[in-house]
Each structure stands twice: as structure tokens, then as C-alpha cells.
Structure 1
Amino acid sequence: MNVLLLGSGGREHALAWKIAASPLLTTLYAAPGNPGIAQVAELAALDVADHGAIAGFCREKGIDLVVVGPEAPLVAGLADDLRAAGIRVFGPSKAAAQLEGSKGFTKDFCAEFGIPTAAYGRFDTLAAAKVYVEKVGAPIVVKADGLAAGKGVTVATTLDEAFSALEACFDGTFGGAGAEVVVEEMLVGEEASFFCLCDGTTALPFGTAQDHKRVGEGDTGPNTGGMGAYSPAPVMTPDMVEHTMREIVEPTMRGMAARGMPFSGVLFAGLMIAADGPKLIEYNVRFGDPECQVLMMRLKDDLLVLLNAAADGQLAHTSVRWRDETALTVVMAANGYPGTPEKGSVIRGLDEAARDGVEVFHAGTALNAGALVANGGRVLNVTATGASVAEAQKKAYDAVDRIDWPQGFCRRDIGWRAVERERR
């Protein structure tokens, strides 16, 4: 099979690494890719926003399957345009991608189909949103409705913080994504990430993880795209997985089909595990980043077989096997992140770091005169497996310490909750 993978981050490097191991694969192309992905795929200079160019490339290269990594092309309808051109795609339609593309859409959908989630209000004016916040009080959560690269959510502990978050949305800080906002109650519990592969009818559970959104140790500081993750999530017991499938995922699959927009691709449920069971925080319509990295390290089966089954509506006849080990990934970010990252600094020592079962996935790198340099905020995902979270954590940080990059930083406590659990 010839496969085209779209994207350029750590998630896509992990997907490329796993797809490249498939006996079904003939050639893997990636666009635009990164230096890490280039080790396992042929890079193509394609603009993911140019749907016609992507379709033309697929015809020229005889692409059998397109795998869309990031959310923006899906929300923009890339999967629809490729399918209309007769090209097989792993990823949801534009209509189905509204589950991530519009938080308001998802909240209304949950209300219609009885899916447990936080109480909320939707607003398209600052004045109305402020009135709601004053009525409900703090703490409260303010979310830009559209895609904001993981940065459009504020957990406000005071009314002033909530008002500032609302003003940022309506002042254009997040562009068009903030033209409408969702304001919702703050859920209390432990967060977890739950993934399913979907084919429009069947949802196949595809692993659990927990990530660390805050930039600082002890889960302090501003939110980021994610500073690390581990899998499986201890809080997602078999009973909790069954509860999530029954109360959240399966009603979503039925509801989307009833609306004439059946969901296929990856359904990523961000959950709050509360005393009364799981509640949906948000949906994403692609693999998480950096959760994908730990899932790929644990996946025992051929990923390409699973992606084909999802694309062809055959998941009802498919199962997934996982390695018993825990996987943990540490994000190394450029100084300045999550603000303006410092780009261009040279990174050395990756070959020394990637040993003893450790993989270093490239997230924001580039080549400059033959040297590997930082080219983004989150730059590397140092990923290890172990018999326990503590063992995987130690291996990952040992690898981090072998990387020579003074201009980078990481949190030193990824997995701390799970490690504490293991010590009890």
C-alpha cells in the first residue's frame, strides 16, 4: 500500500514510525513532515490547505490511503474533498469534525442525546457572557468555541479572571475561534483521555492516557498543548471504560448517525472522572498530542490494518492488542514556550538518547546547514516504556539527560500521580 500521512508534529512522527513497521506498506509519504518523519517516510512539499493539490498528488503516486493527523484540515473538509475524488481517507467528514471544531456544537449535541457533561451557556456577545458569569459565579471555565491550538480554554478561579478570558476571546486573541464562547461549570475529579477508532457505525476502544497540560511542575502555570503523557491511565479501569462506552461514546455514535453525519476516524474523549462516573469535557477528532506517542509505543497490532478497517467500515470484525508495559513521554520545549518560543538553537545527542527502548519523536524541528534545530514550541517527545510508570519515567528522563540542548526545557514530574499510586 502507498500511504500519505498529513502533518508535521510529534503525533505524526509517532504515526509514521508505527505505519512504517507494517508489512502492508509499500511507500509512506508525509506532507509536510519533519526531519524525524523523514527517517521513515518520503517528504512531500504539499500545503495541507490545498485540497486539490493533495488529491492530485494522491492520483500521481497511487495513494491507497490518506491519514490526516491534525484537526484543522478535517474541520476544513479535506476528508470530504478526497472522498469525492475517489480517495480513501482515515478521518471524519467536515460535518462530523464539528465535534472538535465547535465546542458549542458538542455541548448542544450532548444535551440532545443525554451525554453527561458540564452545565453550560453559549454566547456570541461579551455583555451576555458576562451576565451569565456573574449569575453563576467562579470558579468557571471559559472556552473559545472554535479551534485555538489548545490555548482557548481558561479555568477561571475568580470573576475577574473569567471576564479577562471573555474579553480575550471577543477582542480577537484567538481569531475567529473566539467569535463565540462556551462558558461552563468547572468539573471536579481526575482527567483522562479515552480513544476509539470509529467507522461510522462501530466504535472500537483504542487505549487510554493521561497528559499534563500545565507548563510548570506540580501542574502549575499556563495551559499548553501538553507537556507529557503516559498510558494506560490508571483511573480508566475496565469498569470505567465500559461505563464510558455505554454512557458517552455509543450515544455519540448513534446521535451522529441520526444527524446524518456518521463519525469515522479517531474519536478522542477528554473525560473528567468524578465520584458519579465519567463526564465529557470535550471531544477531539484526531489522536492527541502527546498521547498518540505513548499509544503507538504500546500498540502490539499493525496500525495500518486498523486504519484500513476503520476506512472500510470493518471495525466490527477487528480487535486491538496492547503490550503490558506502561509508556511515558516527556515533551522538551523551547525556552519561551507557551509564549513566543526561541527558534534556531542546535540540538545534539538524539542518537545517544534513543536507545534501550526509547524513541525520540520530533515535534518542532528543522534542519539548518545539516544541523538539527528547534523550530517550534514543543520540539521533542522523549518516549520510553517500562514495567511500571516509575520505570518508564526513569528511562525517559535518563534519555532527556543525554540530549544536549541548553535552550530547551521540560517538566521533571511527568506521571507523578501514577507514580504516587504505585507507591501506595
Structure 2
Amino acid sequence: MKILVVGNGGREHALTWNLLQSPQVENVYCAPGNGGTATLTGCHNLPLKIDDFCGLGKAALELGVHMVVIGPEVPLEKGISDYLQSQGLMVFGPTRVGAQIETSKIWSKKLMQAAGIPTAQAAVFTQSSKAKSYIRRQGLPIVVKADGLAGGKGVTVATTVEEAEAAVDSIFQGKFGSAGKLVLIEEYLTGQEVSVLALTDGLTIIPLLPAQDYKRIGEGDTGGNTGGMGAYAPVPIATPELMVKLQEEVFEPAINNLRARKINYCGVLYAGLMISHKLDFKVLEFNSRFGDPETQVILPLLETPLEELMLACVQQRLALMPSIKWKQGVAATIVASSGGYPGYYEKGKVITGIRESEALGVTVFHAGTRLVDEQMVTDGGRVLNVTATGETLHQALGSAYAGIKCIEFEGIYYRRDIGYQAL
């Protein structure tokens, strides 16, 4: 089998790495891929942009690709699945209308309300003045969200009126581009954030292991939002009993509502949850693709071949698949980022120590790297995901931190408290 993975981050490196472990997978092509995928045996990077639908479709057909896997949310928003399917290709990833569950927070909120899915109370605004008046009436803390895609940085948890109003202004003034036409203001929820990714063929939906992502740049969950600074799986607070409730009260109502809207949703439906100490939960958001860096800790524990699950989704026969098998233990990943991220950062910094890190038994997934004259250099804000497994979270984190200490590049930064809530 030949598979094309679209994207260039740590998630796409992890997907490619996992797929290539199957004897059924002959080759994986990454478009455009990164320095890590360039070094994987059996993987070939294609110099194509993620929004070059024509080029991607032509390459997939010429290479005899059996299935295309869409990594990032941006091409999903632009309709990559619709285009590739029109070319006769099998695509793991929802169509543009289905991807609205992530690409429009307001569309998603309305779906949750219509489906009876537990979620935070919210109000939508088209004018700055009315949004600010609402904030003053509601009290603090409060959550301000840009409506569309904002690279994981369009959400502000405001603890002062000034901070909330500044967030409203930045959205309406175009900081997040087209995501700044509407503002969603939500009640603030307390508890632990947990990510649960589920595979679906539009009829059946099956959750994967729960993971916990650390989005803030600073230790103790301080500072600005990022795409994610580390993660681990599974999560103790997401008990088997809670996972059953999530299936019944979140995933099945969501997929049933999508189907009622004549949306044939195929791919990943990812619920970002807030779980209280009483194990009550509400959905913060839905995403329409694999999480990053959650994928980097879920896939190392997956025993069932990933391509079999994806094909079952694409061919709408997920209900016929045996139960997903998982390896025992815990996986953890630590993100090494460029100095200055999530603000301005420089690229092209030489990276050393990856081989020494992997010699310790960890897996280093590349997120923002580029191979230049056989030398690995930085090429993004989040650069590497140092990932390890162990019998316990303490062991997995210990191995991951030992591995990341081997790696060096100018300005390297990483959080030293990933997993602190569980520990």
C-alpha cells in the first residue's frame, strides 16, 4: 500500500512513522514533510504545498497512492478532501462542510447546542462595543475566542476586564485574519483539560486513548497560548466510566447530528474537554483532525495497524473492525521550541544531539525542521517532540527529559513540568 500524508509537522512525522511500521505499507509520501520525514526509510518528501490541491492530486494519481491522509486543519478548511475525492482518490479527512466543526467555533457551538452536548454557555458578537458590555456584565474570568482558525492562538482566558477587552480588539482589528469577523465569548470553566480523539466513518465513532496537552508556553500553565508544549497519554482522570459517558453524550450525538445535516464525516473528530474534580465534563471545542502533540503520544501506544483503521473509515466499515488494541504503559512527549515562540523567532539554527537522544531509546518526532546539506536546522516555532514510553508516567517523562537534555540548538526552550497534574 502507498499512502500520501499531507503536512509538515510533528503530527505528520508521527503518522508516517507509525504507518511505516506496518508490513502492508510499502511507501509513505509526505507533502511537504520535514527534516525528520526526509530521514525515514520508506518515506519520500514531495516539494508540494499543503494548499496545492492540483499538484497533490496529480502526484497521488501518478504515484499510485491508495489513500491520502490530511494532517493540518488549513487545507481541510479550504476543501482539500472535496477536491481529491473528485479526482477518484480515497481521503482520510472530512470535507470542507464537515471541517466547519473546527474551522468555525460558532458553527460548532450551534451544533453542540442542537445535539444536546454539554458545553460552556456562550454569546456571539459582531461589534466590539457590545462584546465589551457583555464582558462587564458577566464578570471574570471569561474566555474570548476568534471564530475561525488562528493556529491555536485565538483563545484568551482573561482574568481582567482590560485583558478581555484587548482580546476583543485584537480579534476585530484583524490579528487573526478572516477569523476576526465574529467573536465568541464563553463562560470560564474549571478543571483539567483533556483531549479525546475519535475515529469515524460517518456512521460509527470509536474514541482513542485520552491525552492531556499543555498549551501555555510557561511552566505552571502561564504565558501565551501555543500549539502545544507537551502531552501524555492515557490520562487518569478520564476513567473507563467517563469514556463510556463521552461516547454516549458527546461523540454519538455529534456524529448523529452531522449525519442529520447530510454531512458524511470521515476522519478524526477530536473533542477538547474540561473535566471537573467531580468528573463532570463539558466540551470546550471540536477539532477535525489529529491533535498535535496528542498524536505523538497516542500512536506509540497503538497496537492495531493504523492504516487498517483509516481504510475502514474511508470505506465506511468501521463497525466491522475488531476492538482497537493498545500497548500497556504510558507515553509522554516534550516539545523543544525556538526561542521567542509563540512570538517572533529565528529559523536556520543548527540542531545537534538527536542521535544521542534516540540512542537512549526515545523517539524524536520533527515538527519544525529542515535538512540542509545533511545538517538538521530549525524551521519553525515548535521544533522537535521528544517522545518516550514507560510502565508509568514518571518513567515515560524521565526518559523523555533525559532525551531532550541531549539536544541543543541556539535558543532552545522547553517546559520542565509536563504531566505535573497527574504526578
Question: Does the pair score TM above 0.5?
Answer: yes
Hey, what's the Cα distance between the residues in 2 that align with 1:198 and 1:356?
36
In structure 1, the partner of 2:65 is 63
Secondary structure at 1:207 match in 2? coil
Are 1:338 and 2:342 counterparts? yes
Question: RMSD of the TM alignment (CA)?
Answer: 1.1
Hey, what's the Cα distance between the residues in 2 that align with 1:374 and 1:113?
44
Hey, what's the Cα distance between the residues in 2 that align with 1:15 and 1:8?
11
In structure 1, the partner of 2:407 is 403
Moved more, 92-101 or 274-283: 274-283
Secondary structure at 1:376 match in 2? coil
Q: Percent identity?
A: 47
- Structure 1 contact 253–262 (Cα < 8 Å) conserved: no
Normalised by the length of structure 2, the TM-score is 0.97
Hey, what's the Cα distance between the residues in 1 that align with 2:36 and 2:107?
36
In structure 2, the partner of 1:374 is 378
Hey, what's the Cα distance between the residues in 2 that align with 1:113 and 1:36?
41
- Structure 1 contact 243–278 (Cα < 8 Å) conserved: no
The residue correspondences of 1:106-145 to structure 2 (distance < 5 A) are 106-145=108-147
Hey, what's the Cα distance between the residues in 2 that align with 1:276 and 1:366?
43
From 365, 368, 374, give the equivalent of 2:369: 365
Q: Deviations over 1:301-360 (max 9, x none)?
A: 111111111111111012211111100000000111111112111111101101343100
From 84, 87, 90, give the equivalent of 1:88: 90
- Structure 1 contact 357–385 (Cα < 8 Å) conserved: no
In structure 1, the partner of 2:330 is 326
Secondary structure at 1:22 match in 2? coil
In the comparison of the two structures, how many residue pairs are matched?
419
Secondary structure at 2:237 match in 1? coil
The residue correspondences of 1:153-232 to structure 2 (distance < 5 A) are 153-232=155-234
Hey, what's the Cα distance between the residues in 1 that align with 2:143 and 2:65?
43
In structure 1, the partner of 2:315 is 312
CA drift of 1:142 comes to 0.3
- Structure 2 contact 351–377 (Cα < 8 Å) conserved: yes
In structure 2, the partner of 1:253 is 255
Normalised by the length of structure 1, the TM-score is 0.97
In structure 2, the partner of 1:298 is 301
Hey, what's the Cα distance between the residues in 2 that align with 1:134 and 1:260?
40
Secondary structure at 1:339 match in 2? coil
- Structure 2 contact 237–279 (Cα < 8 Å) conserved: no
Hey, what's the Cα distance between the residues in 1 that align with 2:216 and 2:62?
44
Hey, what's the Cα distance between the residues in 1 that align with 2:279 and 2:351?
47
CA drift of 1:195 comes to 1.0
Moved over 6 A (4+): none
The one-letter amino acid paired with 1:7 is: G
User: Can you give the 5+ residue segments of structure 2 that lack an aligned partner in the other structure?
Assistant: none
Moved more, 95-104 or 132-141: 132-141
Hey, what's the Cα distance between the residues in 1 that align with 2:193 and 2:26?
39
In structure 2, the partner of 1:392 is 396
CA drift of 1:133 comes to 1.4
Hey, what's the Cα distance between the residues in 2 that align with 1:76 and 1:140?
31
The one-letter amino acid paired with 2:400 is: A
The one-letter amino acid paired with 2:193 is: E
- Structure 1 contact 141–184 (Cα < 8 Å) conserved: yes
Moved more, 367-376 or 307-316: 367-376
Secondary structure at 1:236 match in 2? coil
Moved more, 161-170 or 256-265: 256-265
Moved more, 269-278 or 22-31: 269-278
- Structure 2 contact 145–184 (Cα < 8 Å) conserved: yes
Hey, what's the Cα distance between the residues in 2 that align with 1:205 and 1:27?
27
Secondary structure at 2:274 match in 1? strand
In structure 2, the partner of 1:11 is 11
Moved more, 401-410 or 169-178: 401-410
In structure 2, the partner of 1:272 is 274
Hey, what's the Cα distance between the residues in 1 that align with 2:417 and 2:368?
22
CA drift of 1:158 comes to 1.4
CA drift of 1:406 comes to 4.2
CA drift of 1:237 comes to 0.3
Q: Deviations over 1:53-110 (max 9, x none)?
A: 2111111111110000001111111101111111000000111100000000011111
